[in-house]
Structure 1
């Protein structure tokens, strides 16, 4: 399921934010023995023009909005790097 979830996260972010660069990494292995047995932990790095002029909190909200529904079903934890081009 993790490879499928990585692809689903990627597709949603591409559709919502048209990123110039994107990376989605399953980090479940770092959290073995933690809540949710180490599953559902992901890191996203997104570079998008949509983030230009936006505060970090707004950028994170844009990502969470794109992943609506997944945060309750499949994603237990998400670390985010959200940047505008040139940052």
Structure 2
């Protein structure tokens, strides 16, 4: 098994602490940290309660798009645009 990278999740947008944690992760792990950040959102637990995948529950949600972008990068077909982080 090989680690492809480290994905920051549960990122609380607009907080100094969240930004500092990701900056520290990048300082320690460098290129191993994906530049995609999954922001904290109520939509993730809502999808779980609804027993649906995020793609079905909220296909246009920023978190869904971020996970899609990650999947595309992993398989090597990165699109032109990235979601806001």
- Quick check: which one's strand share is greater? 1
- Quick check: which one's helix share is greater? 2
Higher relative contact order (CA 8 A, sep 6+): 1
**Pair member with larger Rg:** 2
Tell me, yes or no, whether TM beats 0.5. Answer: no
Normalization by structure 2: what TM-score? 0.30
